[in-house]
Structure 1
């Protein structure tokens, strides 16, 4: 895996009109997986990520359950993580703050599975909480092979998390 410098990445976060229309269409569909996959592929030009996971948050259990993974071998759909008492969980899930992790130490601080993440050649992460009516519904998590994250990458990750809202709402409704 090559390390990409910030200057070699795209510096503007946007979707072409045809992509935006496709995302709008998928947002109203019955299949959240189709929406999540489209977001994954559409964001790649800006983020150059190698892993995207989208997790449903179950607040009473303080647990995340994976709804989508771009690498189902390493991170299968349905896998879950307990975040009770974890500083990352307080930051992202409870306080609703984006987590930007740059480099191995930041990954080690945030994730129990940091060894697997590093074995996959991943060196940075953007975790975006998806909130609705003051509640965290889940997270959208982009992991990249480069050490630093620029403004365009932050913007694209936040935009994708917002656009994932219909799929996460649908998943919450199925659980109710």
Structure 2
């Protein structure tokens, strides 16, 4: 069963477009994208991150749960199948079930404590290179095609904001 709330998707998309036009800084744009994601997808954890390939680190730019996953937090990402898929090849990663989460995330206990059982990591790309990630975790046994499509579209909006954030930082 899909958790995508299709009845709110069109109004949410229209509101989001209006909010993004008015956003004065990346934080406001990320907050609008985050609110739209949670409204369309239901309860879960969303983080939006920048990818720094040089030090091989993810930097959290926005979080729907800043007490558990604060903005500014960084994680080193060593060589792994997940890193090669998501951060190097720029391919979406879909993880469903406890074993999939445990195989990929060193903070799986914290993820479990939030009630999340599945993840979709969408690479944020600019000019063919990964510049960040859009990560939605929730209580799911499986992701529907509609949910994956919605998350990829929302991530595409976040990619331009991450690009602008990176450009402003030099």
TM-score, L = length of structure 1? 0.87
- CA offsets per residue over residues 17-62 of structure 1, 9 Å max, x none? 6324324414xx4311111111111122332141110000001111
Confirm or deny that 1:69 pairs with 2:63: yes
Question: Structure 2 regions of 5+ residues with no counterpart?
Answer: none
Alpha-carbon separation, structure 1, partners of 2:109 and 2:151: 23
Task: Decide which of 45, 49, 57 is 2:51's aligned counterpart.
Answer: 57
Task: Decide which of 34, 58, 74 is 2:28's aligned counterpart.
Answer: 34
Alignment check: 8 A CA contact 1:13 1:156 kept: no
Alpha-carbon separation, structure 1, partners of 2:116 and 2:122: 17
Task: Decide which of 105, 108, 130 is 1:114's aligned counterpart.
Answer: 108
Q: Which residue of 2 aligns with 1:21?
A: 17
SS at match of 2:40: helix
Alignment check: 8 A CA contact 1:102 1:148 kept: yes
Q: Report the aligned-residue RMSD.
A: 1.9
Alpha-carbon separation, structure 1, partners of 2:109 and 2:72: 21
Task: Decide which of 138, 163, 170 is 1:169's aligned counterpart.
Answer: 163
TM-score, L = length of structure 2? 0.90
Alpha-carbon separation, structure 1, partners of 2:8 and 2:124: 19
Corresponding residue pairs, total: 169
Q: Which residue of 1 aligns with 2:131?
A: 137
Question: Structure 1 regions of 5+ residues with no counterpart?
Answer: 1-5
Alignment check: 8 A CA contact 1:46 1:153 kept: no
